[in-house]
Amino acid sequence: MGIFFTFNELKTKIEAAIKKVNDFHPNIKLEATIGSCVSFLDFLINIKNGILSTPAHHKPAAEPCVVPFSSDHPRHVFSNIIQAALL
């Protein structure tokens, strides 16, 4: 699960808030990525002059999965892959 939010205070304040939440319960552990450019889900989120921009971002580990045509899948699977990719 992921959470994204902006925080317009000093970096030490957000670090203290995250530590307080992490100390609250042993099953709650937050990790922070602090900066003006962060990757979240499939977006690269930038902030410049107070304006957020979110161009699409593909994680390096996310590679397209294509069933080899020589595999033993039913023939309709191959046309469905092409149709799904086009959608």
Which amino acid is present at 47?
I
pLDDT (0 to 100) of residue 57? 60
pLDDT (0 to 100) of residue 23? 92
CA end-to-end distance (rounded Å), the chain:
26
Return the domain boundaries, the chain: 11-86
How far is the C-alpha of 74 from the C-alpha of 52, rounded, in Å? Answer: 45
* 18 and 5 Cβ atoms separated by less than 8 Å: no
How far is the C-alpha of 69 from the C-alpha of 74, rounded, in Å? Answer: 10
At 58-77, the pLDDT tens digits run: 666 655 666 677 777 787 87
Sign of the Cα torsion 64, 69, 74, 78 reads positive
